[in-house]
Amino acid sequence: MLIDSNNKFLSQRSHPKMTLIKTQIKDDQLILSTSTTGSVSLPLNPDNGTAIETSIWSDQCIAKTTSQQASQWLTDFLGIECQIVYQPDEIIRPVDPDFAKSTDKVYFSDGFPFLICSQASLATLNQSLDIQIPIQRFRPNLVIANCDSYAEDSWRKITINNITFRLPKPCSRCSVPSIDCDTAETNKEPLIALNKARRWNNHIYFGQNALHDNTGELVVGNPVQINRTGSNQPPL
């Protein structure tokens, strides 16, 4: 996670240029790169660092500092003082208990470890746009194919390669999907279209937050089993 000089998390919402930073995992290194400033690497699993208190929305989380070189590289690229931090395994950040079990935890995501979207939902959305946007605009972890558009609204429990996922809450969207991943420029779409088609209780929705019950390996092409469904969330 990137934090500012006040130890508050940084987001593309206020710093869209962050979208131009690409990531790659190679061996035990995390490699950050951009098309204009080259790359920098840092340990994927740091074993030291100074513990500091950081804030993510209303959560106060303990993080540890890592590569000063990477932090300086990020500061130079973004033009703001920042540093990159990691969350050690022994630190537990719980998920909102209104939607999770007491054993569920999340790292530096907004609130849930997984976000599920479907290709069909994106295709339906793109039919209403003058531009065609990629699924990356919505930053999902898991993209499901071969289902009806917005079928994920009714899913409550699914299994992928023997890993069970609970889908307790739809994802309300902020301004991030309006950021072009290749240029960092912002556009009013797809938020205008979503506001017309996917608005409920003064929020717009696309995708479903998810939690996993066990661990395993996911591979592109794994079949998805729908174990339990319910009424649409949001009720659209």
Tens digits of residue pLDDT in 67-123: 999 999 999 999 999 999 999 888 888 999 999 999 999 999 889 999 999 999 999
How many domains does the structure of the chain reveal?
2
Quick: pLDDT tens for 33-50: 999 999 999 998 888 889
- Reported as half-sphere exposure (CB side, CA atoms, 13 A), residue 58 has a value of 2
Indicate whether 61 and 22 sit together in one domain: yes
- For residues 129 and 218, membership in a common domain is answered with yes
Top-confidence range, 53-57, 89-93, 152-156, 184-188: 152-156
Angle at 178 between CA 209 and CA 30, to 5 degrees: 65
Residue 124 domain flag: yes
Instruction: Report yes or no on 28 lying in a domain.
Output: yes
pLDDT at 117: 98
Q: Is residue 97 part of a domain?
A: no
69 and 139 together in one domain: no
What pLDDT is recorded for position 40?
96
> Do residue 77 and residue 145 come from a single domain?
no
Residue among 158, 156, 153, 118 at smallest CA distance from 138: 118
Residue-range definition of the domain harbouring residue 39: 2-86
Q: Mark whether 72 and 153 lie in a shared domain.
A: no
Does any domain span residue 199? yes
| Bridging pattern class, strands 203-212 and 199-200 | antiparallel
Same domain flag for 68 and 124: no
The answer for residues whose C-beta is within 8 angstroms of residue 8's C-beta and 6 or more apart is: 54, 55
Residue 150: which region, alpha, beta or left (left: phi > 0; alpha: psi -120 to 50)? Answer: left
List pLDDT tens digits, range 122-174. 999 999 999 899 999 999 999 999 999 999 999 999 999 999 999 999 999 99
Domain-located, residue 206: yes
Asked if 10 and 71 sit in the same domain, the reply is yes
Which of these three, 34, 66, 86, is where a domain ends?
Answer: 86
> Based on the domain organization, do 217 and 122 belong to the same domain?
yes
Give yes or no: residues 221 and 119 share one domain: yes
